[in-house]
Structure 1
Amino acid sequence: MRLILILCLICNFAFAQKSYQKNYFDDGKIESAGWVENGKKVKYWRHYHTNGNVKSEGHYKNGLKTKFWKLYRANGRKESEGHYEADKKVKWWIFYDNNGHVNHKCQLRNNQKNGYCLMYKNEKLTSAIKYSLGKKIKEWTDFRSFKKENRLRDLQ
């Protein structure tokens, strides 16, 4: 009997720690919604602008952004999307202009450009820029010279 009681208490404690939470702005509109476990954001969350449109959506692990996220402007158009690891932007990110077209795609590490950025204008590739720790190293405006000086597998 004591074993059953202990098991029930353990199960109750484990399940009671995870809950779905909604947060609201002062005016009563929803600010964010998602899962909390042991006082930290976990799993999928959605954040909102004050006008009610989605501001961002993605996953948390132990209170830190992780995996794939999408960020939106107040008008509802996509602003950017990409990956987080431990609350830092990493890997490839896509950034959109005010009309929702791709503006540039960049490799990021620790929230800064580190690797290549592909620049677009009117949905056409215009140049490639290489960065190291946020500092611009070189820019190419034609594919032939870019290919000659770089390994294309570095774009992965």
Structure 2
Amino acid sequence: MKYSIIIFSLICCFTIESNAQKTYKRIYYNNGSLQAEGWLNGDTKTKYWTFYYPNGKVQKEGHFKNNKPIKYWYFYRENGTKESEGHFINGQKNNWWLIYDNIGKINHKCQLKNNLKNGYCFMYFNKELVSAKRFKEGKQINEWTDFKSFRKDNNLKDLK
């Protein structure tokens, strides 16, 4: 019984100590408007953060782990329209990314690996698919402007 009380006390102390390091931080521009807000573990960004333009609109938002972006992020233009969104793995853009035109319509969506186009990239105009490209380590290796030739040349299972 004594040992379980001691172990319970130690666990509580470690829990309180580790939680005490996490703080919610707000950073401000010189003009007093909010520049960024999110969680810190000591001096390290962690969990969800939001960054703002000086006009108060959201610039970008997403998760951090050890000061590196992870998981799904959203990026916006200064006028508030969405610019892009996609996955980060250990600080690098990976998997599918959506890129929007100036009025917020999808312009293209691409597969990335370690910040480079790597896989398919689909181009749109007025919400219509106009071409598909394939990239390897950032270099374009093929392009299609009709679905029939694209389907003939590709395994559609690669689109996951």
Same fold (TM over 0.5): yes
Distance 2:23 2:141 in 1: 47
Other-structure match for 2:105: 101
Other-structure match for 1:136: 140
* 1:57 aligned onto 2:78: no
**Superposition TM-score, scaled by structure 1 size:** 0.94
Other-structure match for 1:154: 158
* 1:70 aligned onto 2:74: yes
Other-structure match for 2:19: 15
SS of the residue corresponding to residue 20 of structure 1 reads strand
SS of the residue corresponding to residue 137 of structure 1 reads strand
Q: What is the identity, as a one-letter code, of the residue corresponding to 2:151?
A: K
Identity of aligned residues (%): 48
Consecutive unaligned residues in structure 1, runs of 5 or more = none
Q: Alpha carbon RMSD of aligned pairs, Å?
A: 1.7
Residue-pair matches, total: 156
Distance 1:82 1:15 in 2: 30
Distance 1:48 1:12 in 2: 32
The structural deviation recorded for 1:38 is: 3.0
Query: Structure 1 stretches (4+) deviating beyond 6 angstroms?
Result: none
Distance 1:102 1:121 in 2: 8
CA deviations over 1:112-148 (Å, ceiling 9, x no partner):
1000000001110000000011111110000000000
Consecutive unaligned residues in structure 2, runs of 5 or more = none
Residues 137 and 20 (structure 1), Cα distance of their counterparts in 2 relative to 1, 3 Å cut: same
The structural deviation recorded for 1:68 is: 0.5
CA deviations over 1:28-60 (Å, ceiling 9, x no partner):
111110011132111111011111100001111
